[in-house]
Amino acid sequence: MGMGGMSTRKDSPAAVEANGVSKIFGDGSDKVVALDDVSVTIKQNEFFTLLGPSGCGKTTLLRLIAGFDHPNNGNILLEGDDISGLPPYQRQVNTVFQNYALFPHMTVAGNIAFGLEMLDKPRNEIDATVANMLKLVRMEELRDRQTSQISGGQQQRVALARALAPHPKVLLLDEPLSALDLKLRKEMQIELKRLQNETGITFIFVTHDQEEALTMSDRIAVMSNGNILQIGSPREIYDHPAERFVANFIGETNFLTADLVLAKNKAGKIKLSSGKTIAATLPDNHAANGKVTAVVRPEHARIVKPGTSAALEGRLDNIVYFGTDTHYHVKLGAEGDFIVRMQNSRDDAGKFAAGSKVGIAIDSNAAQVLRD
C-alpha cells in the first residue's frame, strides 16, 4: 500500500480497507472463529451494508473497525492509514449502537456535544455543531430533554446526531433500526439515506434484514460463518446470487438441477430435467460443462398451460392468495416444489385450479447458475 507514491493515489484512498482480517474468540474447545481471513474495500461516500444472519461475523467486523476488539490477524486501514494499533478514542470513526447507548445522565444536547468536548473543541464551535446536528435530525425542540424521556425513534435520532457530530470519516451503524417498530423503521430507512446524502460520510451498516439492505445500500457484502460470500450492488446480489447461501438468504428462490450444455463468457445454456433447454447467466470463470444448480426467482416465472412454452411441467399443488399477488406451488416430481409468484389482475381468478396439470414458463435470462 502506498508504495507507488502520490501518482497512484490520484483518486482518494478507500474509506476502509480490511486485509486478511481474522478474529478468534476463546481458546481450546470454546474457540469460535468469528472472522476467517476477511478482506474488503469500502469506497468513500458509500452506503455499504454487511448483511448476514446472527453470528456471521458482521458485528465483529464492525467492532474491529471501531477498535472495540482487535484482530488476531490482518490489518485495517482508514483512508489509507493503518489504524490497527489505535484505541477507539483515537480513531476518526463513530458508531451508532444497536441499543443506542445514550448516556442516561446527560441531556439530548449533552449527548451530542460529548464527542466534541472530548476532542477539546472550543465551546462556541461545539454549540454551533450541536445546533446543526439537532436541526439535521429534526430534534431542535427536545435539546434539553433527558434521554430517558424521549421515544425510541427520537433516541435513535439522538444516537445518529451524536455519532455524526464529530464528523467522522466513517459512520458505523450496528443494526440501529432493529429496536424500532415496522412503520418507524421504514421512516428511518429513508432518513438514514437522506443523512448519508447530506453529510457525504461513508456509512457502514450492519443488518440481518435483507429488505433493509436491498433498499438502502450502494453495495452489500453477504456474510456467513465469518466469511464474505459475495459483494455487489443490491441488484447484482438479488438477481445474480453467486452461491446457494446468498440465493437462499435473500428473497425466495427455486433451485433447479440442470446440465450446462453451452458456456460462453457469462452467457450459457442449461438443459433442465424436463429436457427443455433455456438461457442462463453464469458466474465468473465458470467451468464449461457438467451438472449445475440454477436458481429462478418466483416472480421471474409464469404459470402457463402445459405445452411448448413451458420449460417445466407439474401438478399445481396449492394456491395462496396474497392480495397484490398469488403464489402457486407446483409439484415437479423428483425435484420437489417450484414456487411461482404472479401479480393479480381483476380477471384471472380461477384460471388455474389446484390439482390440475400446469406448465411453468421462465423469463428469458431469469435463470442464474450458482458457483459450486
Partner 1 sequence: MSTLDQLAQSELATGENRASAIADATHRAHVRRRLLLTTPALIVLFCAASGPLLIMLIYSFLSAGDYGGVEWTLSWDGWANVFMQRDIFDGTLSIADAHVSILWRSVKLSLLTTFTALVFGFPTAYFIATRPPRTRNLWLFLITIPFWTNLLIRTFAIMEVIRNQGVINTILKSLELIDEPIQMLFTDFAIMIGMTYVYLPLMVLPIYASMEKLDFRLVEAGYDLYATRFRVLRRIILPLVKPGVVAGSILVFIPSLGAYVTPRLLGGGKNMMLGNLIELQFGQGRNWPLGAALSFSLLIIVMAALLIYVRGVGKPESGHD
Partner 2 sequence: MTELSNSAQTPTLRRPFSVRTQPGFATIAMVCFFLLYAPLLPLVVYSFNSGTSIAFWEGFSFRWYVAAWDNEFVQDATIRSVVVATSASFTATCLATMAALGTTRTRPYRGLTAIYAMINQPLMVPEIVTAVALLILFATIKAVTNYHGLAYLIIAHTAFCIPFAYMPIRARLEGMDLSLETAAADLYATPWKTFRRVTLPLVWPGVLAGLMLAFVISLDDVVITEFVKSAGQDTLPTYMLGQLRRAITPEVHAISTVLLAVSVAMVTIFFFLNRKMQ
- Report the interface residues with partner 1, using CB under 8 A: 21, 70-75, 84-87, 90
Cβ atoms 44, 37 nearer than 8 A: no
- Give the position of cell 446543526: 132
- Residue nearer to partner 2 on the CB measure, 90 or 309: 90
The entry of partner 1, partner 2, none that residue 268 binds, CB within 5 to 8 Å by partner kind: none
DSSP state of 106: S
Q: Shortest distance, CB of residue 172 to partner 2, whole angstroms?
A: 8
Cβ atoms 36, 223 nearer than 8 A: no
- Residue nearer to partner 1 on the CB measure, 71 or 314: 71
- Residue nearer to partner 1 on the CB measure, 17 or 175: 17
Q: Shortest distance, CB of residue 23 to partner 1, whole angstroms?
A: 9
- Selected from 104, 275, 307, 350, the binder of partner 2 by CB under 8 A is 104
- Selected from 57, 115, 176, 314, the binder of partner 2 by CB under 8 A is 115
Q: Distance between CA 9 and CA 111 in Å, rounded?
A: 37
Q: Classify each residue of 20-50 as buried b or exposed e, where b means 16 or more C-beta atoms within 10 Å of its C-beta.
A: ebbbeeeeeeeeebbbbebebebbbebbbbb
DSSP state of 364: T
CA separation, residue 362 to residues 112, 213, 241, 272, 304 (Å): 53, 27, 17, 11, 10
The entry of partner 1, partner 2, none that residue 85 binds, CB within 5 to 8 Å by partner kind: partner 1
Beta pairing partners, 290: 260
Residue list 80-99, contact with partner 2 (CB under 8 A): 87-90, 93-95, 97-99
Does 12 bind partner 2 (CB under 8 A)? Our answer is no
CA separation, residue 342 to residues 92, 234, 279, 327, 339 (Å): 49, 22, 21, 7, 10
- Give the position of cell 448483511: 51
Residue 44, Ramachandran bin (φ over 0: left; ψ between -120 and 50: alpha; else beta): beta
The entry of partner 2, partner 1, none that residue 86 binds, CB within 5 to 8 Å by partner kind: partner 1
- Residue nearer to partner 1 on the CB measure, 75 or 199: 75
Does 32 bind partner 2 (CB under 8 A)? Our answer is no
The entry of partner 2, partner 1, none that residue 107 binds, CB within 5 to 8 Å by partner kind: none
Does 105 bind partner 2 (CB under 8 A)? Our answer is yes
Cβ atoms 199, 44 nearer than 8 A: no
Q: Shortest distance, CB of residue 213 to partner 2, whole angstroms?
A: 23
Reduced to 3 states (helix: H, G, I; strand: E, B; else coil), residue 43 is coil
Q: Distance between CA 166 and CA 279 in Å, rounded?
A: 52
Does 166 bind partner 2 (CB under 8 A)? Our answer is yes
Q: Shortest distance, CB of residue 185 to partner 2, whole angstroms?
A: 20
- Residue nearer to partner 1 on the CB measure, 26 or 290: 26
The entry of partner 2, partner 1, none that residue 118 binds, CB within 5 to 8 Å by partner kind: partner 2
Number of residues that bind partner 2 (CB under 8 A): 25
The entry of partner 1, partner 2, none that residue 28 binds, CB within 5 to 8 Å by partner kind: none
Q: Where does 137-289 have alpha helices with state H?
A: 152-164, 182-199, 210-216, 234-239, 244-249
- Give me the half-sphere count of Cα atoms (radius 13 Å) on the Cβ side of residue 265: 1
Residue list 60-79, contact with partner 2 (CB under 8 A): 66-68
Does 125 bind partner 2 (CB under 8 A)? Our answer is no
- Residue nearer to partner 2 on the CB measure, 37 or 81: 81
Q: Shortest distance, CB of residue 102 to partner 2, whole angstroms?
A: 8
User: Which residues of the chain form contacts with partner 2 (CB under 8 A)?
Assistant: 66-68, 87-90, 93-95, 97-99, 101-105, 114-115, 118-119, 162-163, 166
